[in-house]
Each structure stands twice: as C-alpha cells, then as structure tokens.
Amino acid sequence: MNKNYFCVIMAGGVGSRFWPLSRIPRPKQFLDVLGTGRSLLQQTFDRYVAICPPENIFVVTNESYKELVEEQLPLMNRENILLEPMRRNTAPCIAYANFRIKSINPNAMVIVAPADHLILKEAEFHRVIRKALDFTEKNDALLTLGIKPNRPETGYGYIQIQADPTRNIHSITDVVKVKTFTEKPNIEMAKIFLQSGEFYWNSGMFIWSLKSIMASMKTNLPEIIQSFEKGESNFGTPEEKDFIRKTYSECKSISIDYGVMEKADNVYVLGTEIGWSDLGTWGSLYENSEKDKNNNAVIGKNIKVYNTKNCIVNASGKKLVVLEGIEDCIVVETDDVLMICNKQNEQNIRQIVNAVELEMGENYI
C-alpha cells in the first residue's frame, strides 16, 4: 500500500434534510440509514482503508462529534480526528487537513470525500480511485469524480466537460478537462444537460496532490492559506487546538467548489458509474433501498404496511408502526417525533425544521 496516499473524510454536516432521524446531536453520517449494521461514516472509512494506510486517514468533524467518531471508528488514530470549532464550509476544512498532512508528508496524494455518500459498486470505485491517483501523481491537476447522470436531477450540481468531436462523449470514462460548474439547475435545464451528454453530476469527491491543491488555494483563496500559515509550526502539537479555534473565527465560510474548483484552470473530471448517491434526501434513500412488491422501502423491524404503495418508512424503535391505505409518503418515527410527508413535498423539510425550532425550541432539532 502506497504510504503517500492520504484520505480526508469530511464529517461535520448536520443533515437537516434527513430530519427527524438526523438530529444535531447525531446527524446522518453517524446513522445506519440503510439498515446494514454500519453507519455511513463507518462505511466510508471501510471503503478507503482498502486504498490508504489506516494511519493516513483523517476525519474532519465538529468538536461536538469527537466522541461519536471515536465510538464509531475505535481503531482510528485519535490524533487523526481533526476538530472544527465552528462550521466554515469545505474550503477551511480542506485547508486544515492540508496543513496537518503537510506536517507529516509534503509529498502526499490526497483523496477528499464526504462521510455520508452511498457507493454500491465498491470494486469499480476502487479501480476509479486508483486511476485518479495515478493521473494526479503525474499531472498538476485538481480532479473530481463525475457521476454519469441517468435522469434530469435538480438536486445535484453539474460539471460540464470540454467536448472532443473525435470521441463518443456518451461513453467517456477517461480524465477530461472541465469547462464549467453549474449549481442545482431547474428541471428544464437539467433535461438539457442530460440530453447533451456533456454533463456529469458533481460527486463532491476530489483527488489531487497536496502540492497542487495548496498552490491553487494560495492563488484563489490566499486569505485562508495565510491564516493557516501563521501557525504552521503548531500542527501536530498541543498548541494546534487553540490556533485552530482562533483561525476558524477569522476564516470566511466558503466551499472548495466556489473558492477553487470554479476558478482554477487545471481542473479535470473522471466520469464514473459507481452506484453513487449523496443520500441527501429521503427521496434518494428511497431510490437506493430495497422495495417490496408495492414499491415500499421499509427500514425497521416493527413495521407493517397494508394497501400501501410507493412509500419510504423508517422506524427503528420498539413501537409497532402500521400503515394502511397510504401512497407516496415519507413516514419517519423516532422516540419523540413522527413525521408524515408527501414525497413530492420533501423539499419543504428544511423549512419545517426551521419552523419547529422557532415554535418549539431545539429539543426536536
């Protein structure tokens, strides 16, 4: 196993679209939402142990989730759990990991991945990652994994590739230069993207050399790099925690996509078909779950459904949950919350969470 391969798992999100199962004290990356016996974070860690030495895997998370990470990844080096004092989006998160890795191995090749994604084709995924690492070892490139779309999805960002008329664009599995990034489009635009064959879904997974990403951040996000450079000697020492707390209070909140990937001129994408989903919504969980003869996805042991179709039901407690005559709904039961929502209205869940917090306080959030 290559000692220069490192992985950074980003695990600091709150997963509000998975409410009420995902809550601030225990968000979705720490949950077994698929009923496999392993949380999404544990599955992500397992996935990368096959590529990177375990001592080269880092988890960046919020300070309040330190114990959860330690509990779920007991074999992980405790010093590799990087704690953020506040949420500042992905660019400061990646910068923090970069400087810690630099203090260990300035020649590192780095994979950056969210903690809460689903990948069904593990063998193909490992092949793709190794191909990406090989490319970025040989080239000054910032590489992202693109997912070949199979529907006009409005919930994902899109990556447009630079077309090559000499090749069949619909079967590209090679590394190609990125032309543009587009945030979540409306349905009409998503249909155009799908039909053109020039677009991939943006997976949010990145592969690059430490030197390439540091150089690009220095060019495109100089204020963030300068903030971290002030205490470069603190990384890996007892002084790191206080330095990070001060630095994060000064950093602006910005994503790596907006801060670097949309601006750099050495950005590439590797098109893939790896059975990927970001599991960002109950709808995406429904699509990736096993279903009964009436297209119900039932997650939990004490659930009975009668004359019910096209529903996702999640109830992991001891309470018996019975559905009769229900169609196209999301039904989630926890110890203190029952939510029933029409699937086509799930985009309203975030507003519901905000309203519940405003009207009833933080006990249910």
- pLDDT tens-place string over residues 289-318: 999 999 999 998 899 999 999 999 999 888
Cα separation, 230 vs 87, in Å, equals 21
Q: Is the pLDDT of residue 141 over 90?
A: yes
Q: Is the pLDDT of residue 168 over 70?
A: no
| 345-349 contact pairs (CB < 8 A, 24+) | 346/17, 346/281, 346/282, 346/283, 349/16, 349/17, 349/19, 349/281, 349/282
Give me the sheet containing 312-315, strands edge to edge.
297-299, 312-315, 329-333, 338-342
pLDDT of residue 88: 95
pLDDT of residue 33: 87
Q: Is the pLDDT of residue 335 over 60?
A: yes
Q: Is the pLDDT of residue 281 over 70?
A: yes
In the predicted model, what is the mean pLDDT of residues 42-54? 96
pLDDT of residue 143: 97
In the predicted model, what is the mean pLDDT of residues 90-112? 97
Coil vs helix vs strand at 187: helix
**294 membership: H or E segment, kind and range:** none
DSSP 83-148: EESS---HHHHHHHHHHHHHHH-TT-EEEEEESS-EES-HHHHHHHHHHHHHHHHHSS-EEEEEE-
User: Count of alpha carbons within 13 Å of 97, Cβ hemisphere only?
Assistant: 28
Q: What percent of the chain has a predicted confidence (pLDDT) above 90?
A: 81
Q: Is the pLDDT of residue 167 over 70?
A: no
pLDDT of residue 170: 45
In the predicted model, what is the mean pLDDT of residues 248-266? 95
In the predicted model, what is the mean pLDDT of residues 113-129? 95
Does domain 5-277 correspond to CATH entry 3.40.50.970?
A: no
In the predicted model, what is the mean pLDDT of residues 84-112? 97
Residue type, 306: Y
H helical segments located in the chain:
40-49, 66-72, 90-104, 122-138, 187-196, 210-220, 222-229, 240-250, 256, 282-287, 349-360
In the predicted model, what is the mean pLDDT of residues 9-14? 94
In the predicted model, what is the mean pLDDT of residues 230-246? 94
What residues have CB less than 8 Å from 310, skipping those under 6 apart?
Answer: 294, 295, 296, 327, 328, 343
Distances in whole angstroms, Cα of residue 161 to Cα of each of 67, 155, 174: 41, 19, 11
Average pLDDT along the chain: 93
Q: Is the pLDDT of residue 86 over 90?
A: yes
Q: Which two tokens stand for residue 289?
A: 């779950």
Q: For residues 117 and 276, is the Cβ–Cβ distance under 8 A?
A: yes
In the predicted model, what is the mean pLDDT of residues 277-281? 88
- In the chain, the N- to C-terminal Cα span, in Å, equals 42
Q: Average the pLDDT over each of 37-51, 207-221, 272-286 and give the range with the smallest value.
A: 272-286
In the predicted model, what is the mean pLDDT of residues 134-158? 92
Q: For residues 153 and 190, is the Cβ–Cβ distance under 8 A?
A: yes
Domain ranges of the chain: 5-277, 288-364
pLDDT of residue 74: 95
What residues have CB less than 8 Å from 130, skipping those under 6 apart?
Answer: 51
H helical segments located in 197-238:
210-220, 222-229
pLDDT of residue 162: 83
Cα separation, 198 vs 243, in Å, equals 44
pLDDT of residue 17: 87
Q: Which two tokens stand for residue 343?
A: 């699937």
pLDDT of residue 328: 97
| pLDDT band at residue 36 under the 50/70/90 scheme | confident
pTM of the model: 0.92
Q: How many residues does the chain have?
A: 365
Angle made by CA atoms 49, 55, 60, in degrees to the nearest 5: 85
Q: Which two tokens stand for residue 42?
A: 């544990």
Tell me whether residue 110 is exposed, middle or buried, using C-beta atoms within 10 angstroms of its C-beta: 0 to 12, 13 to 18, 19 or more. buried
Q: Which two tokens stand for residue 276?
A: 């990927």
In the predicted model, what is the mean pLDDT of residues 86-105? 97
Q: pLDDT higher for 164 or 154?
A: 154
Q: Which two tokens stand for residue 123?
A: 């063998």
- According to DSSP, the residues that pair with 315 across neighbouring strands are 333
pLDDT of residue 103: 95
